[in-house]
């Protein structure tokens, strides 16, 4: 097991020895973020064969993840050690926050061992610093107009450096904002605790910030720190929304006061919030910093992927998304010959107009094992399990163009041809890839139940 150390103030020098020259813009590699969110993620670090590795608790839960190792050269050689460390904690290896280059390195050095996925909600928005300083050209005209309206309405505004005597005002502004937007201030949330920790160790963390005042009233503040030698990360930006344009002007003024060595500014992710996404896109990012997750596959998942590719020809990205988000060994039925999976199907729980419903998904048989009744054997097992679970119904979507499948599934009591739509939290496409061909055949426990004109399948947790 690798000896990891909790992230402490005195560790900043050794951690930044790796992160500052790295060129990686991921906001999670900013030392201040690691330290200030320690209570949630329990970040820890280790040096392994010339690489810095950060281990943390994903979403503050029990699963552990490892940030992309930072150092010179290929980190693929240390992945077996990370795998052993994860296994020592009873978990599989998850490497999170991978760059495009990091993904390719793993694919090259450990081919076929990992599934990869990215989450748009977690990608960082990275901007050319000069764009935020000057707001040039026609595309930034709306921002300049916003600032002009602010300065006309509040001619007595001023920009001030964020210094310790202003910290209490900042926390008060943040509490008031949260009270208006979330209806409570009785308990500090995780973000407030992180801010409080930042203010307690502002200089030691290398933080810098700015404020906007209108008269003597604080209406906006922001602060952040360096991610690497040329990228600055804005950790926090808060404003009193009663002052229209306060966000726009604090953003510009702060960018103007940053040292010229920062040519890029990272304003972090949008967390999938539509309003925040629109706001960040309106500043025209130079690029989005991808953050891929790589999960080392178990043998049964590797077998599923191989058979899925042979049977359906889907892309690695699609199959990896299914494996990472929805694959369950408990909900999969397989048949093996000589240690190889030759037939499979997956039982995915949904709610539909018919009640508790199981979706029979990804029914596949290897080319070498077809026409031997293996799919029939699995279908009988599937329906027996569905009956044991007490589900009211099951459905499946035959492969478009393979009309013989309708007769095959009809032999197991499936009937009709119902347009189907899926409702999932992440929009995963459980259909055929073409909504027009997503037409389900349905099995019902009670055949007197009327069939809906459209089947709406909502994923059941």
Residues 6+ apart with CB under 8 A from 296: 83, 92, 93, 94, 113, 114
- The two three-digit tokens of residue 191, written as one number: 């973000």
Dump pLDDT digits (tens) for 228-263. Answer: 999 999 999 999 989 999 999 999 999 999 999 999
Q: Is 239 strand, coil or helix?
A: strand
| Same domain for 247 and 193 | yes
**23: nearest Cα among 165, 227, 182:** 227
CA 294/CA 320 separation, integer angstroms = 9
| Same domain for 208 and 134 | yes
Q: Is 84 strand, coil or helix?
A: helix
**3 pLDDT higher than 80:** yes
| Same domain for 135 and 119 | no
| Same domain for 75 and 147 | no
**179 pLDDT higher than 90:** no
Residue by residue, DSSP assigns 101-132 as HHHHHHHHHSTTSEEEEE-GGGPEEEEEHHHH
Q: Write the DSSP symbol of residue 55.
A: E
Residues 6+ apart with CB under 8 A from 97: 26, 28, 29, 67, 68, 291, 292, 293
Q: Where are the beta strands (DSSP E) in 229-370?
A: 231-239, 264-266, 287-289, 292-296, 332-337, 340-352, 355-365
| Same domain for 21 and 164 | no
Instruction: Tell me what pLDDT residue 176 has.
Output: 85
Residue by residue, DSSP assigns 309-328 as HHHH---HHHHHHHHHHT--
pLDDT band at 152 (very low <50, low <70, confident <90, very high): very high
Domain stop point among 87, 105, 123: 123
Q: What is the CATH number of the domain that holds 155?
A: 3.40.630.30
Q: Is 273 among the domain residues?
A: no
**185 pLDDT higher than 60:** no
Dump pLDDT digits (tens) for 394-414. Answer: 999 999 888 899 999 999 999
| Same domain for 148 and 72 | no
pLDDT band at 382 (very low <50, low <70, confident <90, very high): very high
Q: In what order do the strands lie in the sheet with 287-289?
A: 157-161, 208-214, 217-228, 231-239, 264-266, 124-128, 287-289
**32 pLDDT higher than 70:** yes
Instruction: Tell me what pLDDT residue 182 has.
Output: 67
Domain stop point among 247, 268, 289: 268
| Same domain for 216 and 101 | no
Whole-number percent of the chain with pLDDT over 90: 91
Is the CA virtual torsion 362, 367, 369, 374 positive or negative? positive
**207 pLDDT higher than 70:** yes
| Same domain for 330 and 386 | yes
Domain stop point among 123, 139, 172: 123
Residues 6+ apart with CB under 8 A from 311: 364, 365, 366
| Same domain for 207 and 137 | yes
Q: Is 175 among the domain residues?
A: yes
Strand partners, 96: 67, 293
User: Is the separation of the CB atoms in 3 and 37 below 8 Å?
Assistant: no
Q: Left (φ > 0), alpha (ψ -120 to 50) or beta: where does 47 sit?
A: beta
Q: How many separate domains does the chain show? A: 3
Dump pLDDT digits (tens) for 229-238. Answer: 999 999 999 9
Dump pLDDT digits (tens) for 320-362. Answer: 999 999 999 999 999 999 999 999 999 999 999 999 999 999 9
Model pTM?
Answer: 0.89
| Same domain for 162 and 82 | no
| Same domain for 112 and 33 | yes
Q: Is 229 among the domain residues?
A: yes
| Same domain for 245 and 182 | yes
Cα diameter, the chain:
83
**Domain of 258?**
124-268
Q: Is 449 among the domain residues?
A: yes
Q: Left (φ > 0), alpha (ψ -120 to 50) or beta: where does 97 sit?
A: left
Whole-number mean pLDDT of the chain?
95
Q: Is 193 among the domain residues?
A: yes
């Amino acid at each position: 097991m690798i000896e990891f150390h909790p992230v402490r103030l005195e560790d900043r020098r050794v951690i930044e020895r790796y992160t500052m020259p790295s060129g990686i813009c991921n906001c999670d590699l900013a030392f201040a973020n690691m330290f200030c969110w320690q209570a949630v993620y329990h970040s820890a670090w280790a040096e392994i064969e010339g690489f810095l590795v950060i281990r943390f608790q994903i979403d503050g839960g029990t699963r552990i993840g490892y940030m992309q190792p930072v150092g010179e050269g290929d980190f693929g050689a240390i992945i077996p050690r990370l795998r052993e460390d994860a296994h020592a904690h009873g978990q599989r290896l998850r490497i999170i926050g991978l760059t495009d280059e990091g993904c390719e390195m793993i694919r090259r050095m450990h081919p076929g061992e990992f599934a990869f996925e990215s989450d748009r909600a977690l990608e960082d928005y990275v901007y050319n610093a000069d764009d935020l300083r000057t707001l040039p050209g026609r595309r930034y005209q709306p921002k300049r107009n916003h600032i002009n309206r602010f300065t006309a309405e509040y001619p007595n505004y001023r920009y001030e450096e964020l210094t310790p005597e202003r910290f209490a005002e900042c926390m008060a502004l943040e509490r008031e904002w949260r009270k208006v937007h979330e209806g409570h201030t009785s308990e500090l949330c995780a973000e407030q605790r992180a801010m409080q920790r930042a203010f307690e160790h502002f200089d030691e963390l290398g933080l810098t910030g700015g404020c906007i005042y209108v008269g003597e009233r604080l209406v906006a503040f922001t602060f952040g720190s360096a991610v690497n030698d040329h990228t600055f990360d804005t950790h926090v930006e808060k404003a009193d929304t009663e002052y229209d344009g306060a966000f726009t002007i604090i953003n510009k003024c702060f960018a103007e006061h940053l040292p010229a060595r920062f040519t890029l500014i990272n304003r972090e992710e949008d967390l999938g919030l539509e309003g925040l996404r629109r706001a960040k896109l309106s500043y025209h990012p130079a690029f989005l910093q991808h953050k891929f997750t790589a999960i080392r596959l178990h043998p049964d998942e590797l077998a599923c992927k191989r058979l899925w590719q042979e049977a359906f020809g889907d892309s690695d990205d699609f199959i990896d998304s299914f494996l990472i988000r929805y694959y369950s060994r408990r909900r999969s039925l397989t048949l093996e010959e000589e240690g190889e999976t030759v037939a499979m199907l997956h039982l995915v729980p949904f709610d539909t107009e018919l009640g508790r419903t199981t979706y029979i998904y990804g029914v596949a048989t290897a080319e070498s094992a077809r026409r031997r009744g293996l799919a029939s054997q699995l279908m009988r097992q599937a329906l027996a399990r569905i009956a044991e679970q007490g589900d009211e119904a099951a459905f499946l979507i035959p492969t478009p163009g393979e009309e013989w499948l309708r007769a095959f599934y009809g032999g197991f009591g499936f009937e009709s041809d119902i347009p189907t739509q899926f409702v999932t939290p992440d929009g995963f496409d459980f259909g055929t890839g073409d909504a027009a061909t997503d037409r389900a055949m349905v099995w019902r426990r009670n055949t007197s139940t009327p069939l809906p004109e459209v089947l709406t399948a909502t994923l059941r947790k």
